Amino acid sequence: MKRNTGQDRSITSRWRPATQAVRGGTARSEYGETSEALFLTSGYAYDCAGDAAARFAGEQAGMTYSRLQNPTVEMLEQRIALMEGAEACRATASGMAAMTAALLCQLEAGDHVVAGRALFGSCRWLTDTLLPKFGIATTIVDARDAQAFADATTDKTKLYFFETPANPTMDIVDLQAVCDIARARGVTTVVDNAFATPALQRPMEFGADVVAYSATKMMDGQGRVLAGAVCGSEDFILNTLLPFTRNTGPTLSAFNAWVVLKGLETLDLRIRRQSENALAVGRFLEGRVPRINHPGLPSHPQHALAMAQMAMTGPIFSFEVDGGRAQAHALLDALELVDISNNIGDSRSLMTHPASTTHASVSEDKRLEMGIREGTLRLNVGLEDPADVIDDLDQALRRAGL
Ligand SMILES: *Cc1c(COP(=O)(O)O)cnc(C)c1O
């Protein structure tokens, strides 16, 4: 095929990230289309029975069934791997499919996991409810303290699992320190990088082994489809993750992969603008609310660490009101532009009350241990003019008595 450089890693790995996000992994069909083709097919036909047998035996390159491979999904996997600086990537049907697969594919009864306290609600369900059912013990630590991982490690510890920035408290985990501790102890690190994406933070540069994504968030970026991805070494993806995903089937649909491919083309632009907008909105709120958790503001206790390991701090932050759930709900109900919605990474500004939505299934004492109070609100700042978002928050704060 002519000039199909998107598939040539010796070329694409030299490209800068914004170029990789537009062109990396592109495989052109015989028609030479410029935009990635959408292959909506569940199966593939063979020229002869011998070819089918050879493909199943792994002796012939090619696809056999879309639970296992699909050309559109493969383009997305190659693009994400490239942007992440990972040897390999596999896409999944959702972020939770990615997290579940990344954990279960390498754990077994008797293993021990150390996980950060502030995790996406369903990730806490995995660590607190699902893993123990299969005889896998978990210790939850305050991940802002890297030494806590070392202190919780036993001879059974197989894996560290955390996200940074963490949802919704905006805790920052010191990637270099925690990955060094893991390496020294032979422990695998699994980092949920959904908030930052490879456009802002690349955990593998600090020594992370596995990076997992909800691509539903910034990667799609326009609130359209669910998707996920797991990145790692070729050995991990082929020999540990693939046997699990091929046989359990958390496969991403080709259509959703195509939508995320289109999303990645504008990721760099969107995440930079949304980071700037979130900083402008954060600066406005800082003087108006009792507490704000925004890693881009010098008032955040881990501001220096965030700036050292991230290019920018992203569209999401949280803040607190003193009047508990009643005042938090009153503020949400007074919004005219910002939507009440628990999604994040969208080009629209969205606000939610974690204690009654995303973290409602977590018990109140666990929420407090995670740093989520009744007055905590989480905001995703979109691509609107930030002055309009600020005007909306200003009038809503006033109506809620702030
Ligand atoms: C949304 C999210 C998930 C789950 O992803 P889905 O695509 O909704 O399944 C996991 N981790 C983090 C940090 C998230 O924000």
Atom of ligand 1 nearest to the CA of 226: 7
Pairwise CA distance, residues 122 & 318, whole Å: 19
Amino acid letter for position 304: A
Q: Can you give the pLDDT at residue 5?
A: 81
- Our answer on whether the CB atom of 124 is closer than 6 Å to any ligand 1 atom is no
Q: What is the mean pLDDT of the chain?
A: 96
Match domain 267-399 to its CATH number in 3.40.30.10, 3.40.50.2300, 3.90.550.50, 3.90.1150.10.
3.90.1150.10
Tokens of 377: 């609100």
Pairwise CA distance, residues 324 & 318, whole Å: 14
Q: Can you give the pLDDT at residue 1?
A: 46
Q: Can you give the pLDDT at residue 118?
A: 86
Q: What mean pLDDT comes out for the span 216-238?
A: 98
- pLDDT band at 121; cut points 50, 70, 90: confident
- pLDDT band at 49; cut points 50, 70, 90: very high
Tell me which of 123, 214, 218 to substitute to probe ligand 1's pocket, judged by most ligand atoms within 8 Å of the beta carbon.
214
Contacts of 268 (CB under 8 A, 6+ apart): 17, 18, 21, 199
Q: How far is the CA of 289 from the centre of ligand 1 (A)?
A: 27
pLDDT digits (tens, 9 = 90+) for 355-382: 999 989 888 998 998 899 999 999 999 9
- Our answer on whether the CB atom of 169 is closer than 6 Å to any ligand 1 atom is no
Per-domain residue ranges for the chain? 3-265, 267-399
Pairwise CA distance, residues 282 & 291, whole Å: 11
Atom of ligand 1 nearest to the CA of 99: 10
- Our answer on whether the CB atom of 70 is closer than 6 Å to any ligand 1 atom is no
The CATH class that applies to domain 3-265 reads alpha beta
pLDDT digits (tens, 9 = 90+) for 170-202: 999 999 999 999 999 999 999 999 999 999 999
pLDDT digits (tens, 9 = 90+) for 144-175: 999 999 999 999 999 999 999 998 999 999 99
- pLDDT band at 321; cut points 50, 70, 90: very high
Q: Can you give the pLDDT at residue 6?
A: 87
Atom of ligand 1 nearest to the CA of 344: 15
Q: State how far Cα 32 lies from the chain centre.
A: 32
Residue 78 above 90 pLDDT? yes
Contacts of 349 (CB under 8 A, 6+ apart): 337, 338, 339, 379, 380, 381, 382, 384, 389
